Amino acid sequence: MDNLLEVKSISKRFGGLQAVDRLSFAVRRGEILGLLGPNGAGKTTAFNLIAGFIKADEGEILFGGKQIRGCEPYQICASGIARTFQLSKPFGGLSALENVMVGGFARGAGRARVRDEAYACLEFLGLAQRADTDANDLTAFDKRKLELGRALATQPRLLLMDEVVAGATPSEAGEMVELVRKVRDRGITVLIVEHVMKVIMGLSDRVIVMEQGRLIADGVPAEVVKMPQVLKAYFGDGYVGASA
């Protein structure tokens, strides 16, 4: 597989905090790549840098071989990158269908076509029966699915997903995992942040791990979870020494 996204030595400092420190990794076309790391590792900041919500202090971000560092979020979205957020915030007062249509309008298509494609997204997500429901009246999990639908409506080539099963029940988490697999089966590459280790390890083709803004591991899940530097990042020196 060739690389769809290449992150090369990007850094971001907020005052005295080095949130991302010369981070480099690649996302291969067609894969599900899991991004792991303890709280404060810089995962969400890395997402925000890729999506253009904040600007990198240095480095390169190449998407499809083209430089996107410094581009505005709407430009990056138009190029084929969409994302979901940790906290789902639908447009209250709009129906579920209208919320997904917002994503479709990012491509500049006509209203009738956007509406049809938005409804198809809701069918894909199992939300077609809630199409006319005010988004604020959906369950927390359905709001997460709705946010996924809004991102899919932009017709991305790369989807950034941030903690999609946070707060979900086991059955809901299983449903979301299957949806992510179906998204990839549609030809969409996925970069996903998730704290539920069982989910990310079972879902990802490959995982990368961040600590204190830096990349500390890259490999297949079964190998990465055994790496001393990863165990140390999550559990501390004492655990690594005891398990050696």
Q: Which residues pair with 210 in a beta bridge?
A: 215
Q: Residue 28 falls within a domain, yes or no?
A: yes
Cβ atoms of 134 and 156 within 8 Å: the answer is no
Does 182 lie in the same domain as 74? yes
Which of 140, 155, 170 is the C-terminal boundary of a domain?
Answer: 155
Does 236 lie in the same domain as 161? yes
Q: Which residues pair with 95 in a beta bridge?
A: 134
CA-wise closest residue to 96 among 74, 119, 112, 77:
119
Which of 155, 181, 208 is the C-terminal boundary of a domain?
Answer: 155
Total domain count for the chain?
A: 2
Instruction: Tell me the C-alpha to C-alpha distance, in Å, between residue 212 and each of 42, 70, 147.
Output: 7, 23, 29
Q: Residue 12 falls within a domain, yes or no?
A: yes
For residue 227, pLDDT over 70 is answered with yes
- Cα angle for residues 127, 130, 92 (degrees, 5° grid): 110
Q: Residue 60 falls within a domain, yes or no?
A: yes
d(C-alpha 224, C-alpha 231), whole Å: 9
Does 232 lie in the same domain as 126? no
For residue 238, pLDDT over 60 is answered with no
Structural domain boundaries, residue 140: 91-155
d(C-alpha 21, C-alpha 19), whole Å: 7
Does 71 lie in the same domain as 104? no
**What is the residue type of 140?**
A
**What is the residue type of 38?**
P
Q: Residue 216 falls within a domain, yes or no?
A: yes
CATH number of the domain within which 199 lies? 3.40.50.300
Does 111 lie in the same domain as 203? no
Q: Residue 184 falls within a domain, yes or no?
A: yes
In the chain, % of residues over pLDDT 90? 80
Q: Residue 86 falls within a domain, yes or no?
A: no
The whole-model pTM stands at 0.92
- Cα angle for residues 135, 140, 174 (degrees, 5° grid): 125
Does 73 lie in the same domain as 162? yes
Structure token digits, residue 101: 């249509």
Query: What integer is the mean pLDDT of 7-22?
Result: 96
What is the per-residue pLDDT across 176-210, written as a single tens digit (0 to 9) for each? 999 999 999 999 999 999 877 788 888 999 999 99
Q: Residue 85 falls within a domain, yes or no?
A: no
Does 167 lie in the same domain as 75? yes
For residue 114, pLDDT over 70 is answered with yes
What is the per-residue pLDDT across 22-55, written as a single tens digit (0 to 9) for each? 999 999 999 999 999 988 999 999 999 999 999 9
Does 123 lie in the same domain as 146? yes
